[in-house]
Amino acid sequence: MNKEAISLLISGAHIIDPGQDIDQIGDLLIAEGKILRIGSTVTLSQRPERGEGKVENLDASGLVLCPGFVDLHCHLRQPGFEDKETIATGTKAAAIGGFAAVCCMANTEPPLDTPAAVDWVKQKASRDGAVAVFPIGCITKGRKGEELTDMAGLAEAGVIAFSDDGDPVASSLLMRRAMEHSRELGLPIIDHCEDKELSDNGIINEGEISAKLRLEGIPAAAEEVIVARDLILAKLTGAKLHIAHVSTKGSVELIRRAKEEGISVTAEVTPHHLTLTEERIVRETPDKSFDVNAKVNPPLRTRDDIEALIKGLKDGVIDAIATDHAPHTLADKNCGLERAAFGISGFETAFGCLMSLVHKGEISLTQLISKLTCEPAKVIGRNDELGTLKIGGPANITILDPDREWIVDSRNFASKGKNTPYDGYKFKGKVMATIANGRVVYIDDSLVIARSEVTKQSHV
């Protein structure tokens, strides 16, 4: 990994930074890992004298340059599930997907329910991570929903939020206490909204398709009941509440009304819930079975739900797009629809599938970038260092080609998780390079950095 101080001039890019209302053709100069200049014409002579390292040049004409993507919700699986993913493989996949920073969920083994466990992840990420990793701490010990963790100790250890993601906190009283503590600590609760009794071993969305195929369904109400409960608790406690992976029209409307009431709530939606319906999982594969790679929790919903989610994005009800990257082994998935694990490996396909919304005119490119950069950074209170091209701030940058066509081939994923329902899809829109904290951690083969020793298709 190259630790030398370097200067990098990126020239001719379409620079978009929604958080600063920047939308212009111009150049950007990086020196010693920080953004030094942005302008219509920037020269290497403008770098400070102390930046005596190598000088590199990247012609980004025809490409879009924006702040590095920030993912609020991913599963890096380490410690405990290294057969599914590691911090090294997961963050490399994140870099390929354009993410300069990721927030990892606490459902590892052991779970991130002690300061020691959090410290282990931070040290491992410091050594092996291609991009910045921000741990999320457990709400309850062992994620069992019975007793609160030492939330103050976890906050001191550096968690950016609390979540038992993968499971809800079933006890309303315990969730109230968690919110009270999180309010005092100034950190959000990230909420997995699922009434387990209502979801009741469901496999896909409850509706016409589940009834026709006689498959156990997961009703929209299983999500919406907990969304409603925790919005009420957030109002009661004054806590910051973040609703994870919103999937239903009803949830969008509950969050809309809560925001209108002044409740401190934010929300995220995944790329797959924006682009795939319940019909995708029952599309027959060559061997006449269902596509287990489209089995996810919450399940893929209906076209009406997707339309409500997109509207929620556009009008600010939904603040961010998060991948919920959930890698699994082939054995986890290739065991029949009923037994297959929930989850989609999402880092490397996120931007490509989301660009379908832009090309169809459902959202603008600037809106999409905003939901991947400044808005998620604001949710976790890191908008001074993440999701921005602020002069003097760390150089976290993503370079995009909105019109580049490519075909998804999961065999080439950097992630260990090859479980994607997008395998074989042709996307229009591709991440071309990712810079994390001033280091080029990914660059497409078609780009050339002059006088550089960067190894393409890998972090340096």
pLDDT, tens digit, 9 for 90 and up, residues 445-455: 999 888 644 43
Q: Strands (DSSP E) along 292-413, which ranges?
A: 320-321, 397-407
Query: How confident is the model at residue 55, as a pLDDT?
Result: 77
Q: What is the pLDDT, as a whole number, of residue 299? A: 98
Q: How far is Cα 105 from Cα 427, in angstroms, rounded to an integer?
A: 28
| Residue 399: strand pairing partners | 65, 433
- The mean pLDDT value for 421-442 works out to 97
Question: What number is the average pLDDT over the span 362-382?
Answer: 98
DSSP assignment, residue 388?
A: -
Is the CB of residue 387 less than 8 Å from the CB of residue 376?
A: yes
pLDDT average, residue stretch 35-50: 70
Check 71, 113, 191, 324 and give the catalytic one: 324
pLDDT, tens only, 131-171: 999 999 999 999 999 999 999 999 999 999 999 999 999 99
Mean pLDDT of the chain: 93
Task: Provide the residue type at 217 as one letter.
Answer: G
As a whole number, mean pLDDT of residues 284-303 equals 85
Q: What is the DSSP string of 70-134?
A: EEEEE---TTT-TTT--HHHHHHHHHHTTEEEEEE-S-SSS-S-SHHHHHHHHHHHHHH-SSEEE
The pLDDT of residue 230 is above 80 = yes
User: ∠ at Cα 308 (197, 163), nearest 5°?
Assistant: 45
Higher-confidence position of 452 and 400: 400
β-pairing, 64-67 with 34-39? Answer: unpaired
pLDDT score recorded for residue 282:
79
Q: Are 404 and 55 in contact (CB under 8 A)?
A: no
Closest CA to 35 of 21, 18, 15, 63: 15
324 is catalytic: yes
pTM beyond cutoff 0.85 = yes
Helix 365-372, helix 350-359: angle, nearest 10: 150
- Here the tokens at position 40 are 């219509």
C-alpha to C-alpha distance for 348 and 244, rounded to whole angstroms: 20
What count of other Cβ atoms lies within 10 Å of the Cβ of residue 183?
18
- CA-only gyration radius of the chain, Å: 21
Say whether pLDDT at 435 is over 90. yes
Quick check: 4 pLDDT over 80? no
E strand or H helix at 208: helix 208-213
